[in-house]
Structure 1
Amino acid sequence: MSKYWRAKVRAFTGATALAFSVVVATPAMADGAPENPQEVVMPADIEIVVGDTPAPGTVVPPLGTARTVTASATCLGTTSAYGVQGCFQHNGDITWSGDTEADGMSSAVGVYTDYGRPSFVCINSGSAGTWATCNKDYWEEGNVQLRVLRYDGDTGKFYQPEAWSGWIPVDGQY
Structure 2
Amino acid sequence: MRENWHVKVSVLAGASALALSVVVSTPAWADESSGGFEEVQMPGDVEIIEGVAPAPGTVDPLLGGTYKAAAVVSGACLGATSIYGAKGCYQPRGDVVWSRDTEKDGMSAAVGIYTDYGRPAAVCINTLGADTWATCNKDYRESGKVRLRILRYNGDNGKFYQPESWSGWIPVDGQY
Q: Does the alignment reach a TM-score above 0.5?
A: yes
Aligned length: 139
Do 2:110 and 2:125's aligned partners in 1 also have CA atoms closer than 8 Å? yes
Partner of 1:126: 128
Partner of 1:37: 37
Q: Deviations over 1:59-82 (max 9, x none)?
A: 12236xxxxxxxxx6100001111
Aligned in 2, Cα 1:29/1:90: closer, same or farther, shift over 3 Å? farther
Cα distance in 2 between the residues matched to 1:113 and 1:132: 21
Cα distance in 1 between the residues matched to 2:62 and 2:80: 10
Q: Which amino acid aligns with 1:41?
A: Q
Choose 162-171 or 40-49, whichever is displaced more: 40-49
Q: Deviations over 1:85-123 (max 9, x none)?
A: 000000110000000111110000000000111110000
Query: Please, which of 140, 143, 157 is the counterpart of residue 141 of structure 1?
Result: 143
Cα distance in 2 between the residues matched to 1:170 and 1:31: 28
SS in 2 for 1:78: strand
Cα distance in 1 between the residues matched to 2:147 and 2:99: 14
Partner of 1:59: 59
Aligned in 2, Cα 1:31/1:91: closer, same or farther, shift over 3 Å? closer
SS in 2 for 1:110: strand
Partner of 2:48: 48
Displacement of 1:29? 3.5
Do 1:112 and 1:119's aligned partners in 2 also have CA atoms closer than 8 Å? yes
Residue segments in structure 1 that go unaligned for 5+ positions in a row:
1-27, 64-72
Partner of 2:153: 151
Q: CA RMSD in A?
A: 1.7
Instruction: Calculate the TM-score normalised by the size of structure 1.
Output: 0.76
Displacement of 1:31? 5.2
Do 1:150 and 1:160's aligned partners in 2 also have CA atoms closer than 8 Å? yes
Do 1:29 and 1:80's aligned partners in 2 also have CA atoms closer than 8 Å? no
Partner of 1:97: 99
Q: Which amino acid aligns with 2:154?
A: D
Displacement of 1:34? 2.4
Q: Displaced runs of 4+ in structure 1, greater than 3 A?
A: 28-31
Displacement of 1:133? 0.4
Cα distance in 2 between the residues matched to 1:96 and 1:31: 18
Q: Which amino acid aligns with 1:43?
A: P
Partner of 2:109: 107
Residue segments in structure 2 that go unaligned for 5+ positions in a row:
1-27, 64-74
Displacement of 1:30? 3.2
